[in-house]
Structure 1
Amino acid sequence: MSKRDYYEVLGVARNAGDDELKKAYRRCAMKHHPDRNPGDAAAEAAFKECKEAYEVLSDAGRRRMYDQHGHAAFEHGMGGNGGGFGHADMGDIFGDIFGNIFGGGMGGGRGPRRGADIGYVMELSLEEAVGGIEKTIEVPTLDACDSCDGSGSADGKLETCSTCQGRGQVRFQRGIFSMQQACPHCGGRGQTIANPCGDCHGQGRIEDTKTLQVKIPAGVDNGDRIRLSGEGEAGPSGSPPGDLYVDVRVREHDIFKREGDDLHCEVPIRISQAALGDTIRVPTLDGEVELRIPAETQTGKLFRLRDKGVKSVRSRRPGDLYCEVVVETPVNLTAQQRELLEQFEGTFVGEGARKHSPRSSTFLDGVKGVWDRMKSS
């Protein structure tokens, strides 16, 4: 039976461009693919026919010969192949069109993969995080083997991989789509080791502990991450190493609590200081500073000390320090102190006492209002 015209097979005009040919082949292949037409001999024949047509028309040289001589161009030795298509990988044609549907296949990139990234958690005090510090760390990792310089080969000799035939990729069929991925035997290198290194057993890597100096910039916060490029695990067979990620964890401080670039702390004062006012000294990360407490200060009063917080690692602008006053009840009183307090308490009598305790008066008035409403209901 005579062959159909290749342009007719794909349903395109004779001046069709490459993109049009690909779209036509995709439609034809999806329609007649054996996986979609199990047991249908006619569909299988049509599928082979459209593959053959696309192989010729997608190649500029063979398309030119076909346009001049038709099917005869590939018969009786014309075209240098005796009319066959054995020199071409039909899977490659199919994969070129459909592979990009899944992002170019599954792991289709050629070449060995880089080494794995590793993580390290570094605990810092608040002072270390705010001021910056350089620390020495030890990280268990896979390092390049010194005996074979990370190649995995004792003598440097390599062989062509028998699984992928040196291509570094293997192709397989999934439904109607042709997929490709890095060769599992050679890891995408296309070559295997003829004489493995005795120290690393051909892996190119050995377990080791790496000692590193890590510089922590001033102003880092809990959860920040520092990347050290190329300090991760060595890649297999001499491929590039991964990275080391240092995750910062800041321990809780005895006095200060950090919120962004601001610091917060509680400042206890005596009842006499709160009532009469005073100037006290409060701690900061730069040393003590004076804080003036005005008379009649109530517990919970917030005082702001500008630029006494943390200098941000990003903006480099310092935050503020917020001091919350807590009026402390005296304990372990002496007889004299107790007597003086009793005398002082004795002065709060009658209606005149209300003006000395505004919050208590407001509270008592509120309670009285609740009782009155309950009685009238």
Structure 2
Amino acid sequence: MMPLEAFAEWAGGDRVFWCPPGDDAMAGLGVARAVEVDGPWRFDVAATAAADLLGDRDIAFAGFSFADQEGTGAWAGYPSGWLAVPERVVRGPVAADSGCRSVDGLRVQDGSRASYRDAVKRAAEAIEAGELAKVVVAREVEAGGAIEPAVVLARLASRFESCTVFGFGRGRSCFVGATPEILVELHGDLVTTTAVAGTAPRGATPVEDAINVEQLVSDPKEQAEHRYVVDYLRTRLALAGVELDPTGEPRALTLPGIHHLSTTVTGRIAPRPGLALRLAGALHPSPAVGGTPSLFAQRWIADHEGIDRGWYAGPVGWIDHRGCGSFYVALRSALVGPEGLRLFAGAGIVAGSDPEQELIETDIKLAAILDVVT
């Protein structure tokens, strides 16, 4: 049985689907041992618990909310931190059909456009007043109707081959997405993270596409937004004891519907139990999903954004008994429930940001999932 087929058949219980680019997928089914964590030290608590939960041949899947708060409402069942060793792990390729039947399109219900423009305007005013240098403002769109999470995952895996596709199912809900952004990976002693910030749309023709890339890599506003993230990642990794490698120039990361600026940051550190979780905690939330200064941006988001992010923009991934593992930022994502989906996308607001252009950027990002379910 293929991983996604096994994931689909395990409906109703705890289950995880994980499919990184260029590698086999994994389905983690059921829970053998688990811990829920909260509080300001939730990543360190989870890292300490990992040493007790994990045997030599085990892996544990983990997910965290953006903010340190337990899920309520649609996010009920998604704690601020969850670490679980599954009863069973199924590994293998993602088959083209994966046993998933097709469905009718969903009905988009978007009442967020005016409120999002207003939120961006307030963020720009806070930046102009010197309260912040950058803040990421997100919005939520609903799509009504029934769809199986495995169907969404199969379509995302087919469309976004260069992204990590994930699904965290708890009860009747499942958080799914296709994210290009590595928060941190630790393989042996090699640490890798990526700065993904700065956005441009795809062009209608190859010539227009190339022009959009050229404008992206030379735009001062996009470069400034990107530089905040790179500097943050390097500083936080150095403080965590990582011996950093030199960092190259940003490059264009091209995905269906969108271009991003992307920079890879690498370094070395000796692995130890729980370390990948501690590094994830050191980096979350990066300016790519929160802002800078970090604490002021998080407070602004809590006070002014007006949505419950839940696990959107939080770290999701896995860890083994050595402390090695892989955590991604949960972007291009949606919470799938019995009556439809809640989709999330955000844009980085800096000096000079235009509310209408930031709204368009979130439209492009929301299309990553909307295009495969409507």
- Do they fold alike, i.e. is TM over 0.5? no
Q: TM-score by structure 1 length?
A: 0.18
Higher relative contact order (CA 8 A, sep 6+): 2
Bigger Rg, structure 1 or 2: 1
